[in-house]
Amino acid sequence: MRHRGLAVVVLLILLGAAPALAQDEPRWSLSSSVNYSEGDYGTGKNTSIVYVPFTLGVTPIDRLWLRLTVPYIHQSTQNVVITGGGVAARNGSRGRLARPASSSSESGVGDVLLKGSYVLVQEADLIPEVAPYVKIKVPTADEDRGLGTGEFDETVGVDLSKRLIDKLVGYLAVSYTFIGDPPGVDLRDTFGWSLGAAYLVLPPLSVFGFLEGSTAISRGQADPVELRVGAEYRLATALKVTGSVTRGLTDGAADWGFSAGLALRF
């Protein structure tokens, strides 16, 4: 409860820090993607996950983004569970997160995500853009079917970006997620990071690559680290499509995955 209150306070600070209304920037966004991953996450049995988020974003005031995400999830086994800080293996878990005697496929609505981000520092000659954010995972997924933990998770993080040369932009992100513990379960809070770059090949096409990782949520699970590469193509000023492939570099991450998405800003 204390961690949740801290996240709400930071979100209110972001809201209070924003300046006047924006008039010439897109104010709304709609996006969705299909994300497929497969791996054993150190459990000894593969799990495939289909994660399809539907996200509505709004910019009520300049430099501030608020987002609401409602996802659909399909899992081939119940050996892992999705949290606000990544996938937690059920190895060694007790209580409600103990590994079931027989795993079965489950699907349904996942945990709703609320996120607020604010561009605190705008990019300058030697200064990157700095955008802190707060994300809250609301436990709407059915924990009895293995689709969530049934607890709130709160994330505090910051995104940095800087144009390195004319067509190359670098990105760095760090975050800390307070993981809610279901009764009888001891999950660990997690520190996450992401380092990458995007290159504009042609005006409508850019390619990107990211190395991403975090500390493990479940005890006995290796820290997940993965490499993600992909491309983004702008079909119109307000419409873009994105595709990427992911390769896990440690046992704590999915072995591989792919994603395809569509985003509209207006």
Domain of 231, CATH number, reads 2.40.160.40
* Domain count along the chain: 1
What is the domain range of residue 240? 2-265
Give the tens place of pLDDT for each residue, 131-177. Answer: 999 999 999 999 888 899 999 999 999 999 999 999 999 999 999 99
Q: How far apart are CA 215 and CA 33, in angstroms?
A: 26
Give the tens place of pLDDT for each residue, 185-227. Answer: 889 999 999 999 999 999 999 999 999 999 999 988 999 999 9
pTM recorded for the entire structure: 0.88
Q: Contacts by 227-235 with C-beta closer than 8 Å and gap 24+?
A: 228/196, 230/259, 231/205, 231/206, 231/207, 232/198, 232/205, 232/206, 232/207, 232/208, 233/204, 233/205, 234/203, 234/204, 234/205, 235/204
Residue type at 191? F
